[in-house]
Amino acid sequence: MKRPLLLLLCALLPACALFPRPPRPVHAPPQEAAAVTFPIDLPTEGSLSISGPTLAAIQLALEDFLPWDTQPHEGATPREVCLYKRESYDVIASPGAEGVIYVEIFPRTGACELGGPPVMDFSAIYAIDSKGGRILAVRR
């Protein structure tokens, strides 16, 4: 009885490789980290405070819009490569009724111009259920 169960588990184990976890963030080497000096108080000018639910909504929308493991296709142009980078986008998050947070993702001005016309059609607005942690709707 135990042997068939063990064989079944061994057969299913390679399937776990199909669901990789997101990569951990890269940390600077200890020498570089030691050179960083933190201020006693963070400056308020130019800073941004984001609530936990808003941050979670932004992360959820970004993961749907541009998943962490998405790579440019072979032969992609420099502009296409640029559009595969999350830092090429800006985000606006607005609270709505009943725990809904609207998250708009759009190309950062000048980020991927590279001599061509402005990028206009790579944006989306998400309606995120901040209480349930799910995407209610997307408008592209």
pLDDT in tens, the chain (140 residues): 566 666 666 666 665 556 666 677 889 999 999 999 999 988 888 888 899 999 999 999 999 999 988 899 999 988 889 999 999 999 999 999 999 999 999 999 888 876 666 656 789 999 999 999 999 999 99
Helix residue ranges per DSSP H, the chain: 2-12, 30-34, 52-65, 78-83
Q: Which residue has the tokens 């296409």?
A: 80
Residue 61, Cβ neighbours under 10 Å: how many?
A: 24
Give me the number of domains the chain comprises: 1
CB 54 within 8 A of CB 101: yes
> Considering the domain boundaries, does residue 121 fall inside one?
yes
pTM: 0.76
* Cα distance between residue 37 and residue 81, in whole Å: 34
Give the pLDDT confidence score for residue 46 in this predicted structure. Answer: 84
> Considering the domain boundaries, does residue 80 fall inside one?
yes
Q: Residue 87 to residues 5, 41, 82: CA-CA distances in angstroms? A: 47, 27, 9
> Considering the domain boundaries, does residue 99 fall inside one?
yes
Residue 66 belongs to domain spanning? 50-139
Give the pLDDT confidence score for residue 110 in this predicted structure. Answer: 84
